[in-house]
Chain A
Amino acid sequence: MYPLLLKTFIQERLSLRRLFGQKIARSKIQSVLMVLLLVYAFGVTAFSNSILQYEIAQGLKVIGDLSPMLFQVVNSLSALGFLFGFFQAQGYLFQYKDFDLLGPLPIPQRTIVAAKISIMLVFVYLFALIMVVPTYGIWWYESGAPLIQLFIFLPMALVAPIPLMLLGAFVSFLLRKLTQKWLHANVLQTVFSVLFILSFASFNFLSNEIIPVSWIGFIQGFDVVGHWFVLAISDLDVLRFVMFFGLHLIVLFTFVLVMSGPLLKINQQRTNLLYKRNEKIPNHQQSVMSHLLKKEWQRFVGTSIYFINTGFGILMLILLTAVSLFIPSAISEVRQLMVAMGIEPIWLIFGIVGFSLSTVYTPAVSLSLEGKNINLLKSLPIEGWTIIKAKIFFNLLLTIPVVLFASVIGSSLFQLDFLIAILFIIMLVLFTILLSIFFMYINLWFPRFDFHQEVEVVKQSLAPLVAVFGGFSLLGALLWLNFEPLASLDLYARLITLSGIEFFFIGIALWFLKTNAQRYFQSFSV
């Protein structure tokens, strides 16, 4: 029964159509292009990671110890497991969406739980291919590429994410349990999730200050099981291999045996949140746009995975700007360094802001996140253009204030001339608008309404991937224009020209969007 369930889950969760959205079958050329794009994006990420790991390996070879790379492998697998457990457990274990379908079938609950955990692991493995495998690959290559070490690595890598994935699942369940009866429970869950991840990231970042060894070195100090992993591979230690593999399997089997019953009960007793909202009855008619924007905001703060993935960039930008206020001397040093290199400091600000903005891709997924509600929207007398405008406005409401904050502070810290600062801010705001419109096009080209969980749209589909890489490309294109064809102009002329180019493309893109909005909108179906 387990293989049958796993096969069905894989067919359901990992089909190309689910990944690419509803347009996959419409055109063969488009499908091939999308596959190529995906392979390219994954390839670039894996290749860049490999280059980075190769450089690290060269450094470690000098001190004659490559084992930190193996620690990194096992810790990254665990971290990926934790993140996937944290974000996916709710839909896969505690309130699985197909419970009404599987519940009446004579399938042992343990089999269902085992298959659900397996499909969660499949997603971890897919990400591990680009995040972790390059590290091991470089280590393996630098160690002389013995086959036996590969055979020892593979089974251990497959089980390594399990304990922290289950821990992540429990943490996420606990958060939900603690907040489910509160008003705005979804918002609280999002806030807790962000705080949790920020604390983890801060500890990671500050560990070098707190502990006089590196983060990996810190883990090495107490991670006995991690040592088993490293020694099993580097020393071909069969006993430690058996201990590592066996311990992880015991954790898995114990979880399945012990938790299947409680998980069944949790699924059987699930209910919708029961709190009542005591909102004031509005005393005046509101515009359609204000309703649409309010809806966008509620979805943004009420969906943890959406908020964390598309809001993290602005949060980091705010933090970075705020922190920079307290380190003016360091900023001054960076400024002097850049001037010495012959690069105007504004391009550093532009790069940082542009990079952060490329991750705030709300318009690239918010239409898809309407899900089956898209039919409801289509049935109402609202123009497609109004809905599209609302999604772009919402993104701009999130980004423009932060862009202004960052660019004003940045201009002041980097001591830009007043006129340059004004021109730079105008160019940055136009870039923000252009990026937002570009993101909107991505969602119109790659819509995906038939999802089960928001994570499938926000992380596991083509739109966010194309949006982030497209954003980087747009940023790269403007920087290239500045440093290559426009290099002979002075800074004023370059900023005015770049703003002009952005303005031109904004005009064209908006005109085309407005003209075709209704056609796009009518073509959507669930």
Chain B
Amino acid sequence: MLIIEHASKSYDKKKKALDDVSLTIQPGDLFGFVGHNGAGKTTLLKAISGIHQLDQGTIKFDGLDINQNTLAFKSKIAYVPDHPDLYEQLTGRQYIDFIADVFKIGIQERNQLIENYGKSFDILPPLKQLISTYSHGMKQKTALIAALIHKPKLLLLDEPFVGLDPKASFVLKEIFKSMTESGMSIFFSSHVLEVVEKLTNKLAIIKQGKIIHQGLTKEVLGKQNLESLFMELS
């Protein structure tokens, strides 16, 4: 379970990018995170993944504090940024092998997973090419396979559907469902409100660094759809 309590962060000591954010993500949750550009979505995702440090507040996963048990915490999560800046002089396969080696995934297991995910995402042959030749979508797929290779208990994704082709989007949604069914948690930000509405069981809306709505998707939305709620709140 991911517990974020009173998380605050400011980049310039004046304006708060995160302002007293508290969230809880249970095992099996498929948690959507929406907000305007610059509202604080990426900042929160980067803070959970250890890229940013909070000014105040705590982040714990399964009882492990990100600042006190950093490596144990990170070994349970995976993060896919919105624009994956991968090592461009490596091939897709070399990059995935690098991540698999970091997480000490056995050769047979990783080969099997790469084969499966590679086929599902239609990227198996291009994995032999240099990443510098990839399109944004191909980089996104490679980053996704690398993130999934160690079966994280918490998957963090920033705008995961941007750049993916329709088939890959469908596959990713199916993967999300099967992961959450097996007890893993997924926390993702998106501007595609229909996807958030249909896919998630919980959601949070962030505005100017503050969480203004959160809870079960059905309860938050009531009788409205997410788009009209979002427009109403903005």
Residues of A within 8 A of B (CB): 1, 4, 8, 11-13, 15, 17-18, 22, 97-101, 103-108, 265, 268-269, 271, 274, 450
Give A125 to B71 CA distance when docked, in angstroms: 33
Interface residues of B in 61-115 (CB under 8 A from A): 70-72, 74-75, 77-79, 81, 84-90, 94, 98-99, 101-103
A103 and B85 within 8 A (CB): no
List, in ascending order, chain A residues with CB within 8 A of B77's CB.
Answer: 104
Q: Is B50 an interface residue (CB 8 A)?
A: yes
**A78 → chain B closest CB, angstroms:** 30
List, in ascending order, chain B residues with CB within 8 A of A107's CB.
Answer: 71, 102
**A380 → chain B closest CB, angstroms:** 21
**B199 → chain A closest CB, angstroms:** 23
Asked whether A8 and B87 contact (CB < 8 A) given A1-B102, A105-B102, A106-B103, the answer is yes
Q: Is B130 an interface residue (CB 8 A)?
A: yes
Give A17 to B11 CA distance when docked, in angstroms: 37
List, in ascending order, chain B residues with CB within 8 A of A106's CB.
Answer: 70-72, 74-75, 102-103
Q: Is B52 an interface residue (CB 8 A)?
A: yes
Asked whether A450 and B74 contact (CB < 8 A) given A4-B101, A268-B53, A274-B12, the answer is no
A4 and B49 within 8 A (CB): no
Give A408 to B52 CA distance when docked, in angstroms: 57
B12 and A11 within 8 A (CB): no
CB-contact partner of B87 in A98, A268, A274, under 8 A: A98
List, in ascending order, chain B residues with CB within 8 A of A265's CB.
Answer: 53
B12 and A99 within 8 A (CB): no
Q: Is B51 an interface residue (CB 8 A)?
A: yes
B50 and A104 within 8 A (CB): yes
Residues of B within 8 A of A (CB): 11-12, 46, 49-53, 70-72, 74-75, 77-79, 81, 84-90, 94, 98-99, 101-103, 130, 132, 156
B90 and A12 within 8 A (CB): yes
B88 and A12 within 8 A (CB): yes
**B143 → chain A closest CB, angstroms:** 9
CB-contact partner of B51 in A22, A97, A99, under 8 A: A99
Give A4 to B101 CA distance when docked, in angstroms: 8
**B132 → chain A closest CB, angstroms:** 5
A101 and B90 within 8 A (CB): no
B71 and A450 within 8 A (CB): no
Give A30 to B41 CA distance when docked, in angstroms: 47
Give A107 to B74 CA distance when docked, in angstroms: 9
B94 and A11 within 8 A (CB): yes
A105 and B74 within 8 A (CB): yes
A100 and B12 within 8 A (CB): no
Give A269 to B98 CA distance when docked, in angstroms: 26
**New contact pairs (9) apart from A104-B50, A106-B72, CB-CB < 8 Å:** A101-B85, A101-B87, A103-B51, A104-B156, A105-B99, A106-B103, A107-B71, A268-B53, A269-B53
Interface centre among B49, B87, B99, B103 (most CB of A within 10 A): B87
Residue of B nearest to A452 (CB): B88
**A175 → chain B closest CB, angstroms:** 21
Main secondary structure of the interface of A (DSSP, over half): loop
**A5 → chain B closest CB, angstroms:** 9
CB-contact partner of A8 in B70, B85, B98, under 8 A: B98
B49 and A103 within 8 A (CB): yes
List, in ascending order, chain A residues with CB within 8 A of B70's CB.
Answer: 106
Nearest 9 A/B pairs, CB to CB = A104-B49, A268-B53, A106-B75, A103-B51, A106-B74, A104-B79, A15-B89, A12-B87, A106-B71
A108 and B98 within 8 A (CB): no
Residue of B nearest to A25 (CB): B130
Asked whether A100 and B51 contact (CB < 8 A) given A8-B87, A15-B89, the answer is yes
Give A269 to B55 CA distance when docked, in angstroms: 10
A100 and B81 within 8 A (CB): yes
List, in ascending order, chain B residues with CB within 8 A of A22's CB.
Answer: 132
Give A504 to B85 CA distance when docked, in angstroms: 47
List, in ascending order, chain B residues with CB within 8 A of A271's CB.
Answer: 11-12
Give A494 to B99 CA distance when docked, in angstroms: 65
List, in ascending order, chain A residues with CB within 8 A of B75's CB.
Answer: 106
Residue of B nearest to A264 (CB): B53
**A177 → chain B closest CB, angstroms:** 16
**B24 → chain A closest CB, angstroms:** 21
Give A99 to B85 CA distance when docked, in angstroms: 10
Give A471 to B166 CA distance when docked, in angstroms: 53
B51 and A104 within 8 A (CB): yes
Give A106 to B98 CA distance when docked, in angstroms: 12
CB-contact partner of B85 in A13, A15, A98, A104, under 8 A: A98
B85 and A11 within 8 A (CB): no
Give A449 to B92 CA distance when docked, in angstroms: 20
Give A103 to B73 CA distance when docked, in angstroms: 12
Give A106 to B78 CA distance when docked, in angstroms: 10
List, in ascending order, chain A residues with CB within 8 A of B85's CB.
Answer: 97-98, 100-101
List, in ascending order, chain A residues with CB within 8 A of B132's CB.
Answer: 17, 22, 450
Give A452 to B11 CA distance when docked, in angstroms: 24
Give A416 to B12 CA distance when docked, in angstroms: 61
Residue of A nearest to B10 (CB): A271
Asked whether A268 and B102 contact (CB < 8 A) given A12-B89, A101-B85, A101-B87, the answer is no
Interface centre among B12, B72, B79 (most CB of A within 10 A): B79
Residue of B nearest to A7 (CB): B98
**A391 → chain B closest CB, angstroms:** 24
Asked whether A17 and B98 contact (CB < 8 A) given A100-B81, A271-B11, A274-B11, the answer is no
B87 and A104 within 8 A (CB): no
List, in ascending order, chain A residues with CB within 8 A of B71's CB.
Answer: 106-108
Residue of A nearest to B54 (CB): A268
Asked whether A11 and B74 contact (CB < 8 A) given A105-B102, A265-B53, the answer is no
Give A12 to B101 CA distance when docked, in angstroms: 17
Give A99 to B102 CA distance when docked, in angstroms: 15
A18 and B89 within 8 A (CB): yes
Give A265 to B75 CA distance when docked, in angstroms: 20
Asked whether A11 and B101 contact (CB < 8 A) given A268-B51, A268-B52, the answer is no
Please, could you name 23 A-B residue pairs with CB atoms under 8 Å apart, sorted by A?
Answer: A4-B98, A4-B101, A8-B98, A12-B90, A15-B89, A17-B89, A18-B89, A99-B51, A100-B46, A103-B50, A103-B51, A104-B49, A104-B50, A104-B51, A105-B74, A106-B72, A106-B75, A106-B102, A108-B71, A271-B11, A274-B11, A450-B88, A450-B132
List, in ascending order, chain B residues with CB within 8 A of A17's CB.
Answer: 89, 130, 132
